[in-house]
Copies of this chain bind each other. A is one copy, B any other.
Amino acid sequence: MTPAFELEGETATTHHTNSANNGANDNQIGFKSRVSVIGSGSWGSVAAKLVAFNTLNLSSFHDEVKMWVFEETLQSGKKLTDAINRTNENVKYLPGIKLVKNVIGDPDLDNAVKGANIMVFVTPHQFIDNICKSLVGKVRSDAEAISLIKGMEVKIEGPCLISTYISEQLGINCSVLMGANLASEIAEEKFSEATVGYGKNREIAEQWVQLFTTPYFMVTPVQDVEGVELCGTLKNVVAIAAGFVDGLDMGNNTKAAIIRFGLREMREFCKLLFSSVKDDTFFESCGVADVITTCFGGRNRKVAEAFAKNGGKRSFDELEAEMLQGQKLQGVPTAREVYEVLRHRGLLELFPLFATVHEICSGCLPPSAIVIYSEKKPRLPV
């Protein structure tokens, strides 16, 4: 595999003209890539662990992986960053798991990305706006980014892909990594996999594969940023539907059917928004595998199950507050956004599952309506 980041590749020159020259001239033979991980929750810490395992073993990378830490004071009175650097463990968000020693926490964002030409974004989605704004003009013009962030907004004027946002704000290329990957299980080195969605440059995709792959973590690249990223958001709507089925004790056949309808509507919805989206993306980890994980585990499924068990009489807000200790469900707002897009385009009838999920969440229909739409005559394929 060619270590593309060592060379003056396509992307390295693409943005030379429209961004500050923060070290971009380092692109010469012998140059070593520097990786910065922006985010240090459980998934961020695991991502840093995966990447740092590889930078130690790949000669084209500096060993050190900087991890930006949103600073917090622990109950002990100590700072989270200090604790991470002293114990090589994220004691708050990934306790019990040793990160690789070359992961260095840094609470100063500017400092954490300084000199980095490889940037891994893995924060909660509501943080990305401020992070990007504060980074404008401070990143290398030849940097390559990847987003592991799920939860974009799907607005009527089009979905706000987080990868597109990062790319536009910082003037750099941005790929995505999504898939059936519960952080806690990867942390324990249980076999897992993910999908990298990349744009034009295949060498970049191969670099991401190289940087994330470990014996227990398999990464497959597909040339479909939009499809891969949208999967990570839309699956939560399907998980809400699956939770209703569980709450109503409808059985295995129904649940499998609902998951399948959901996967099909995800595919059709993505293709509606981006004609470039590929069918095959939905056979990848970001597609079918992530949908399965989310529909059998995950908090969207869990709260939707409770919602259905209560016959819709207790609101999602109430159940969320009670069950999730401050975490928020993404499936409910995403279902609303998707509904608005479909209504705006006059396409609600073509997406009965997505439409019904929102109508149940908003109290217009009872949870049992999750299968009623199926009584409509099935559309015969052309």
Contact = CB atoms under 8 A, between A and B. Distances in A.
Contact of A251 (B185, B193, B222, B371): B185
Interface string A127-156: 000000000000000000000000000000
A378 B185 contact: no
B259 A192 contact: no
Interface stretch (A11-19, A65-73, A276-284): A276-284
Contacts of A218: 257, 374, 378
A264 interface: yes
Given A256-B180, A288-B260, A250 B190 contact: yes
A253 B283 contact: no
A292 B292 contact: yes
A285 B297 contact: no
Interface in A212-261: 213, 215-216, 218-223, 250-257, 259-260
B221 A381 contact: yes
A237 B222 CA distance: 27
A186 interface: yes
A206 interface: yes
B374 A206 contact: no
B191 A371 contact: yes
B378 A220 contact: yes
A296 interface: yes
Contacts of A256: 180, 285, 289-290, 292-293
Nearest to A371: B191
A318 interface: no
Given A288-B263, A289-B259, A371-B191, A181 B381 contact: no
Contact of A260 (B221, B279, B280, B284): B284
A380 interface: yes
B380 A221 contact: yes
A122 B297 CA distance: 35
A223 B382 CA distance: 10
B253 A186 contact: yes
A135 to B, nearest CB: 31
A188 B10 CA distance: 60
A263 B283 contact: yes
Point out which of A191, A250, A285, A290 has the most chain B C-beta atoms below 10 A from its C-beta: A191
7 closest Cβ pairs, A-B complex: A192-B253, A180-B256, A256-B289, A260-B289, A191-B371, A185-B251, A190-B251
23 contacts: A180-B260, A182-B252, A185-B253, A185-B254, A190-B250, A190-B251, A190-B254, A191-B250, A191-B254, A191-B374, A192-B253, A193-B374, A205-B380, A209-B380, A213-B378, A216-B371, A218-B374, A220-B380, A252-B293, A256-B289, A256-B293, A263-B288, A282-B283
Given A191-B371, A279-B280, 10 more contacts: A186-B253, A190-B250, A193-B260, A256-B290, A256-B292, A257-B285, A260-B283, A260-B284, A263-B283, A296-B296
